[in-house]
A and B are shown apart, each in its own frame.
Chain A
Amino acid sequence: MGTNVILDIIGSIIIAGILMLSIFRVNNSSTEDLYKGTGNLVAQTNLATVVQILETDFRRIGYCADWKKIPVPTEAILNADSAGIRYLTDVDKDGNVDTMYYYFDPLTDIPGTPNPRDRFLYRVVNGETPVGVNLGVTQFSLEYFNALGSKLSFPISDPREIFTMQIDITVEDVAAYDEKYQTIFWRQIRMAARNLFNR
């Protein structure tokens, strides 16, 4: 066993080490990318779900299959603030007036998820016990505008003045690789509920 052999072995170990480190790094990076991609997909899917539910519900503010049950549509919004809105609608189109209440709890973290920022966005129909579904919503805010397009300041003294609203939502994945959460933001600039100003 000469000096050359020893040098060959040491060289091989160093090269193998470098190779292994590279492989681990590539593997790590691939795994992170995969997690990011998956997280992004989950957050995006959650956002699309939330948005579609919100759009469908908000477009029905003041709607009732038996329209005579909401004779003054402008009175359909009962109260509104930046984190929630309560209004009259007809959820299942059965001709009965329902009360829908959307609100966001910005303070309470959802237990059991690694993401410290995700919160429940509640959808309460007719005063049922609120049940939260975790879709990774980290921000939900509403702004309201009057018929002349001016922004209404909070607190809104007369919800009848609401003509259009702006909805902002941010969704993150509930768990992420190395706490690098994927963030997706969505804004509906001027959402108008058609029934509010029918007559």
Chain B
Amino acid sequence: MGKLSLYLVLGFGILYMIMGNKSNKISILTNENMVDYNAKTMVHSIAVSATNLACNEIFLNGAWDEGFVNVPFNGGYVNANVQVLDPFRNIRKLTTSGNYGGLNKTIEVIFQPSNFSKFAYLSISDPTNLYWSNNDTIWGPFHSQGNINAYRHPVFKGKVTTKGYVNFYENEILDAPRFCGGFESGVSLTFPAASLDILKSLANSNGHLFSGKDTVYLTFRMDSINFKYEYSANETSVLASYFAPNGVIFADNSVILLKGTVKGQYTIGCSGTLPKGNIYLDDNITYNTDPTVDPESKDLLGIVSKNNVLITNNEANQSSIDIHASIYCEQGGFGAGWQEFTEPNGNINLLGGIQNYCQVQIGIIQGTQILGFNRRYNYDERLMIDSPPGYPSTGQLEIVSWCE
């Protein structure tokens, strides 16, 4: 009886030891599982932090390519390496990695120079009483150097940045804008002082530079460009690609009167002190291949002025104007700016973007009638990835791809 009891106790003891061992293993595996997930989360956080640190260095100094090697960070190590993928276009790739608990995580970020042409609308100095309302839908990237005044949920389809903040007409519930491409406040973006000098230099090197002319009449006729210096003079016609091989045409200390049909990629620039430095649109200026019809269209136009880009008050523009271009006004704005508006003038049918210092009047409201123009602005989405030759750059790099 005594022996039997001993065998019984021993038998069950062994059985429970085996079961206990298995139970312990399961507990250990469960813990390992949790620890493994925690380590993966940690290494990801460390890698993202390293990427943010490196991105900050690049935003402070676009030429930063030193990287860092095995820098201790939050219990792990971080590395960063900057590689120039395309020296001509300054495309850069940042590769960062985080190491933690024997795990490694790599993140790749690609940068390219940021160009003003990507903005559907950019304004440095908007009137304080300008409100974006529920009747407004803005497609493409948007920046305001002031505040964004919102009235009853305006819609912004692209990314919105502002140096200031969103100012609601009444309160957030009634007025909050719909940001469909993200929103970032505290972003300062001003026009670089040397933009037009760079454009002039490009025109002088392998484009075409007009100098010593008060006025330049410029008409695009697809493959050719016609120009003259006086209204009554005869036009000179030249092959566009021969006239400005790099696509940059600049009139120094002058006024440009522009119209026509653009085939290819060009940027028209104009400098000078008022009343010079203005570009007037004498008639429609459109692409030979309309990108809204054929998205493969390669036609692209930039209009860059020191002061204003204005719609000429002439017979051709009395009943609407079509403009295919990205427009940049360093010290002025885009609009009509006529001394008086006597009748409805139809629409400004713009396909492109506007980056200006301030707004210029396009019409007036008289009673219930609008005299002047209505805005019909459409964003040319090709400007998200492409820009007219020599178009002013923000001087900063922007992230175009982020791979975790």
Contact = CB atoms under 8 A, between A and B. Distances in A.
Given A41-B26, A48-B36, A199-B159, A147 B381 contact: no
Contacts of A194: 402, 404
B179 A34 contact: no
B238 interface: no
B110 interface: yes
A196 B403 contact: no
A154 B167 CA distance: 27
Given A34-B19, A59-B404, A74-B159, 9 more contacts: A48-B33, A48-B37, A71-B381, A74-B182, A163-B183, A194-B404, A195-B401, A198-B159, A198-B398
Nearest to A30: B19
25 contacts: A23-B12, A30-B23, A37-B23, A38-B26, A40-B26, A41-B29, A44-B30, A44-B34, A45-B33, A64-B401, A67-B385, A67-B401, A71-B381, A71-B384, A74-B158, A74-B180, A147-B160, A147-B182, A148-B183, A161-B180, A194-B402, A197-B159, A197-B184, A198-B401, A199-B159
A50 to B, nearest CB: 11
Nearest to A67: B401
Interface string A61-78: 001110110011010000
A160 B181 contact: yes
A44 B401 contact: no
B40 interface: yes
A119 interface: no
A93 interface: yes
Interface string B174-207: 0010111111100000000000000000000000
B180 to A, nearest CB: 4
A3 interface: no
A113 interface: no
Q: Looking at B12, B23, B184, which has the most chain A CB atoms within 10 Å of its CB?
A: B23
Interface residues of A, number: 40
B92 interface: no
Interface string B134-178: 000000010000000000000001111000000000001000101
Interface in A28-60: 30, 33-34, 37-38, 40-41, 44-45, 48, 51-52, 55-56, 59-60
Contacts of B179: 146-148, 161, 163
Contacts of B30: 37, 40-41, 44
Interface of B: 12, 16, 19, 22-23, 26-27, 29-30, 33-34, 36-37, 40, 44, 110, 118, 141, 157-160, 172, 176, 178-184, 381-382, 384-385, 398-404
Main secondary structure on chain A at its contact with chain B? helix
B394 to A, nearest CB: 12
A153 interface: no
A158 B137 CA distance: 13
A105 B384 CA distance: 38
Contacts of B176: 148, 150
Given A67-B401, A150-B176, A194-B404, A199 B141 contact: yes
B22 A34 contact: yes
B29 A163 contact: no
A160 B172 CA distance: 20
B26 A37 contact: yes
Given A41-B33, A56-B404, A74-B159, A158 B178 contact: yes
A163 to B, nearest CB: 6
Contacts of B385: 67-68, 71
A72 B398 CA distance: 14
A23 B30 CA distance: 28
Contacts of A23: 12
Contacts of A48: 33, 36-37
A52 to B, nearest CB: 7
Contact of B40 (A52, A64, A65, A158): A52
Nearest to B5: A19
Given A33-B23, A147-B183, A199 B404 contact: no
B160 to A, nearest CB: 8
B403 A60 contact: yes
B404 A60 contact: yes
Nearest to B383: A71
Contacts of B110: 67
A63 B110 CA distance: 11
Nearest to B173: A150
Chain A CB within 10 A, most for which of B141, B176, B179, B184: B179
A63 B403 contact: yes
A173 to B, nearest CB: 12
Contacts of B118: 199
A195 B12 contact: no
A135 to B, nearest CB: 14
B19 A199 contact: no
